[in-house]
């Protein structure tokens, strides 16, 4: 089936760590040549839109920053609608903080309305302890994404979901989750494409996030066996993606 637009994951689909996955650049080049619109839909909340785009461009991808939509951006959009000008304590990267500040959020450690947690590669016990105290004091807990792990050049590393579970367990508070597989981020990305869901294909490597996003929200999915979830693990699931391939070079966009 030919699709009019694509939602494409990054980690494990376009690259692993700092290594481009075979066939990924060619796949994007073929979309460009066919004038098929796409949005990179990533749960990675550590970078701003421009930083995420620069990584791809530096790797050799012919893309524009406007094609990037991150869970940090989706979190900012959610807060902009639900709580304009909210005070927020951030456990996460400078990129996440600046993305939230760009929509009017006030970053603070003093009685915030929200605690927003994204992947923090400099996470410490003190940061977790402060987050727990703020949530227990009444701050609404938000997780940018639920990924338990992500692929890197050195193998799988702990993802935000694994670290969020520490605060959830400590406070007995389950966070509001923004990123895939939740519909919040998907609906925003589909709007960016300007297409009907039935004409869009979601491409990703992680069954629990990428594929479930499509299955739960009415978008066809293509699982690529280059990242988190193996083909064998996918086949064990009760619900299957529409398509599964080993490499993106196997997929025709026309």
Backbone φ, ψ for residue 222 (5° rounding): -125, 115
Residue predicted with more confidence, 95 or 150: 95
What's the rounded mean pLDDT across residues 152-170?
A: 94
180 is an annotated ligand-binding site residue: yes
Residue 183: other Cβ atoms inside 10 A: 14
Residue 31 predicted with pLDDT over 80: yes
pLDDT number for residue 112:
98
Please choose, from the candidates 176, 180, 253, 178, the residue with its C-alpha nearest in 3D space to the C-alpha of residue 214.
180
* SS3 state of residue 213: helix
11 is an annotated ligand-binding site residue: yes
Lateral strand order in the sheet of 106-107: 106-107, 87-91, 114-117, 140-143, 176-177
What are the structural domains of the chain? 5-71+180-250 (3.40.50.1000), 84-177 (3.40.50.1000)
pLDDT number for residue 150:
87
pLDDT number for residue 152:
84
pLDDT digits (tens, 9 = 90+) for 174-204: 999 999 998 888 988 898 899 999 999 999 9
205 is an annotated ligand-binding site residue: yes
Confirm if 94 and 120 have CB atoms less than 8 A apart: no
Label residue 72 by pLDDT band (50, 70, 90). Answer: very high
Q: Which residues are catalytic?
A: 9, 11
Q: What does pTM read for this prediction? A: 0.89
CA atoms of 45 and 145, how far apart (whole Å):
8
Residue 226 predicted with pLDDT over 90: yes
Tally of residues, the chain: 254
């Amino acid at each position: 089936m030919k699709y009019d637009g694509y939602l494409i994951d990054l980690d494990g689909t376009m690259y692993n760590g700092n290594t481009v996955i075979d066939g990924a650049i060619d796949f994007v080049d073929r979309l460009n040549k066919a004038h098929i619109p796409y949005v990179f839909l990533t749960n990675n909340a550590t970078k701003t839109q421009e930083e995420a785009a620069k990584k791809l461009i530096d790797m050799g991808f012919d893309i524009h920053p406007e094609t990037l939509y991150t869970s940090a951006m989706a979190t900012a959009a959610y807060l902009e609608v639900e709580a304009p000008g909210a005070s927020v304590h951030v456990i996460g990267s400078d990129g996440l903080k600046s993305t939230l500040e760009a929509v009017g959020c006030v970053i603070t450690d003093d009685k915030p309305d929200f605690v927003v947690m994204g992947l923090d590669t400099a996470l410490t016990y003190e940061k977790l302890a402060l987050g727990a105290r703020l949530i227990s004091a009444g701050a609404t807990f938000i997780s940018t994404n639920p990924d338990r792990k992500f692929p890197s050049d050195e193998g799988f590393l702990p993802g935000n979901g694994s670290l969020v579970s520490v605060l959830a367990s400590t406070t007995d508070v389950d966070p509001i989750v923004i990123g895939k597989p939740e519909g919040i981020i998907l609906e925003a990305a589909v709007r960016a494409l300007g297409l009907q869901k039935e004409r869009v294909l979601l491409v990703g490597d992680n069954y629990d996030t990428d594929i479930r996003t499509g299955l739960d929200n009415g978008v066809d999915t293509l699982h690529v066996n280059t990242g988190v979830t193996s083909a064998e693990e996918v086949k064990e699931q009760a619900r299957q993606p529409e398509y599964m391939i080993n490499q993106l070079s196997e997929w025709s966009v026309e």
